[in-house]
Amino acid sequence: MGTFEIITIVMQILGGVGTFLIGMKMLSENMTRLAHTKLRNMLNKTAKNRFAGVGIGTAMTILGQSSAFTTVMVVGLVNAGVMTLFQATAIIMGANIGTTLNAWVIALAGSDITVFFLALAAVGVFLTMFAKNERMQSVGNVIASFGLIFVGLKLMSGALTFEEGSEAFNAVSLILGKIGNPFLLLLLGVVITALVQSSTAVNAVIITMASLGMVIGGGGNAPLYIIIGSNIGTCVTALISSLGASTNAKRAALIHFLFNLFGAVIFTVFLLAWRGFADTVLAGIFPSDIAVFGKEGLGPTLQIATFHTLFNVVNALLFLPFVKGFVWLAEHIVPERKGKEKKERASIFGELDERLLRSPSVALGYIYRQTGKMFSYAMDTLDLSFRAFLEKDTAAAKTVDAHNAELLQADKLGVAYLVKLSGESLVLEDEKTVSNLHYVLNDIMRLGELADNIAKYTRQAVDDELVFSEEFLSMLAEMYGQLGKLYELALATYLLKDLSKLKEVDALEDVIDNDRRDLIAQHIERLNEGKCQPQNSSVVINLVGNLERAADHITFIAHSIE
């Protein structure tokens, strides 16, 4: 076999792997778009039940078409403080099970059904081009991505298809046959998977070779060691993702690695002890000449898919009772760094984790909840300032200033995150939500500014020794009480996206508007009767006007869900 032929084969294999990975990426992105609300809801239901966690991890990986996708998401959620290590461990176990579906799809690629999938590429492209509905365009992309996956597999198999007994066939078989050391094969699986960051791509190459009758490492259990290694190599993506993250995020990535490492040790020892496992058990289930969808000789590919499933399912069953043990081990390997933990950039948001952008819908759900926390913080600041006015506490102004500084920092982080989120692949509904969140952040900042205004009125009242009637203070407290009720109703409306509560919100805002008019009217009446100091007017009118403006901004936040 000449040098040119070797280069051609290598380039065709690389082209096949590249096409395969592009297809997988397209499939992941568009499946995520189609299932955006389901992914978000699943993550919102991460209960303490480890079985539920495994189910969620499995479903997320099937939807995202990548265990790396799920584990990186989990690292991001742990880093953000949304998910505990216990929940993360169970989900990671489920992710490993979910990724086994890909191996079965690849294993069936050698059957006559492949022609059908190849045609899907054209069907999907035409559907994407001519469909006007956004959801149908995503469906078209999913169909096209399936086609690309099989085109990639065809390219790989075409590059490796030689006439048995030919010089090329003998040369490739000789190279593959020389790698007989189980540990070298396992290391090969780790390294290649770490480089391409896709265990599915490595499995695709191994399954393609098996479908062509190529013997790796003398046959028997040899290909299985590469599969085991690929399961360790896939942890690299999450480990890299955890660099620079919080201690718990590093622990989550480590748990993923430990889970696969322990499983690899167990299965490696098992295969070394039972050297005839593949020939006895796997070949017994799927003989080499078995026919699937009209195509014979798919036994070797189905054997590898079976082992991949067996590896991940058995490991999950073995280690599921020891979830707390994995958490304990990770906590001892990666201890808390007292005094050295990276300081959060803002106490409200913390660090908005960009890992979550891998699933825009999940990232949007996260920033949405964090914005709700910012809303509460701004209202606490307003409440602090108002109470300080009633108590004539000018010292509270420093705390209000500090709160507003944190609100400003959170606003900068939130806007920057939303800009990055806008650059991702979003469905129309999510694009609208991102746009609305920019306005919500602005309304929240206005609440902080109003708190600052009230702190200034407190200073003015103290410096000018203003005295307010008990009647005014009582009515003012009643108006603020209505404002508190409006906030609680608006927050529930915002977080739950409950459109049915908007009428109540509007009605309560009307009550506050009336309270403002009554307060000003009665203040003027008291002025005319000589019961109130004229110098009070500036503070009274501005104060109740600011409270009414606060009600407006709170109402705007509630209406942002429309």
**DSSP secondary structure code for residue 198 in this structure:** -
Over 70: is that where the pLDDT of 528 sits?
A: yes
Residue range 206-223, pLDDT digits in tens: 887 777 777 777 778 999
* CA distance linking residue 457 with residue 539, whole number of Å: 6
* CA distance linking residue 135 with residue 128, whole number of Å: 10
**Can you tell me which residue has the tokens 């086994």?**
100
Instruction: Just give the CATH number of 356-559.
Output: 1.20.58.220
**Can you tell me which residue has the tokens 């209202």?**
379
Bigger pLDDT: 513 vs 535:
513
Query: In this structure, are strands 291-292 and 295-296 parallel, antiparallel, or unpaired?
Result: antiparallel
Q: How far is CA 115 from CA 107, 150, 162, 240, in A?
A: 14, 9, 21, 38
* CA distance linking residue 205 with residue 226, whole number of Å: 11
Give residue 40's pLDDT band: very low, low, confident or very high (50, 70, 90): low
- At 41 the pLDDT is 64
- For range 317-339, the mean pLDDT: 89
**Can you tell me which residue has the tokens 């990770």?**
330
Instruction: List helix spans (H) across 299-359.
Output: 299-319, 323-333
Bigger pLDDT: 145 vs 405:
405
Give residue 488's pLDDT band: very low, low, confident or very high (50, 70, 90): very high
Residue range 452-468, pLDDT digits in tens: 999 999 999 999 888 88
φ/ψ of residue 296, rounded to 5: -95, 165
* CA distance linking residue 76 with residue 417, whole number of Å: 14
* CA distance linking residue 545 with residue 558, whole number of Å: 20
Whose CA is closest to 63, among 80, 40, 89, 88?
40
Instruction: Tell me which amino acid residue 232 is.
Output: I
- The H or E element containing residue 295 is strand 295-296
φ/ψ of residue 295, rounded to 5: -120, 130
- The H or E element containing residue 86 is helix 85-98
DSSP percent split of the chain into helix, strand, coil, nearest 5: 80, 0, 20
Which tokens in the block code for residue 199? 């265990």
- At 203 the pLDDT is 81
**3 state DSSP class of 291:** strand
Q: What is the DSSP string of 222-246?
A: HHHHHHHHHHHHTHHHHHHHTTTS-
φ/ψ of residue 290, rounded to 5: -65, 145
- For range 19-39, the mean pLDDT: 70
**DSSP secondary structure code for residue 296 in this structure:** E
Contact yes or no for 19/151 (Cβ under 8 A): yes
- For range 346-368, the mean pLDDT: 76
Whose CA is closest to 446, among 369, 375, 514, 359?
375
**DSSP secondary structure code for residue 282 in this structure:** I
* CA distance linking residue 41 with residue 364, whole number of Å: 12
- The H or E element containing residue 4 is helix 3-34
What burial letters (b/e) apply to 1-31, b meaning 16+ CB within 10 Å? eeeeeeeebeebbebbbebbbebbbbbbbbb
Contact yes or no for 252/196 (Cβ under 8 A): no
Determine which of 39-43, 348-352, 402-406 has the lowest per-residue pLDDT on average.
39-43
Contact yes or no for 377/309 (Cβ under 8 A): no
**Can you tell me which residue has the tokens 């709160």?**
403
* CA distance linking residue 163 with residue 215, whole number of Å: 15
Residue range 101-145, pLDDT digits in tens: 878 877 776 555 556 666 777 888 888 888 877 778 888 887 787
Over 80: is that where the pLDDT of 172 sits?
A: no
Over 50: is that where the pLDDT of 476 sits?
A: yes
Whose CA is closest to 420, among 375, 355, 370, 371?
355
Q: What percent of the chain has pLDDT over 90?
A: 43
Which tokens in the block code for residue 238? 């999450």
Q: How far is CA 363 from CA 175, 392, 448, 522, in A?
A: 46, 43, 26, 50
- At 139 the pLDDT is 81
Give, to the nearest 10 degrees, the angle between helix 360-391 and helix 428-463: 10
Give residue 508's pLDDT band: very low, low, confident or very high (50, 70, 90): very high
**DSSP secondary structure code for residue 466 in this structure:** -
Residue ranges of the chain assigned to CATH 1.20.58.220: 356-559
- At 312 the pLDDT is 94
Please list, in sequence order, all residues whose beta carbon lies within 8 angstroms of the beta carbon of residue 216, skipping any fewer than 6 positions away.
Answer: 176, 177, 179, 185, 206, 209, 210, 222, 223, 226
* CA distance linking residue 22 with residue 42, whole number of Å: 26
- At 428 the pLDDT is 79
Contact yes or no for 289/299 (Cβ under 8 A): yes
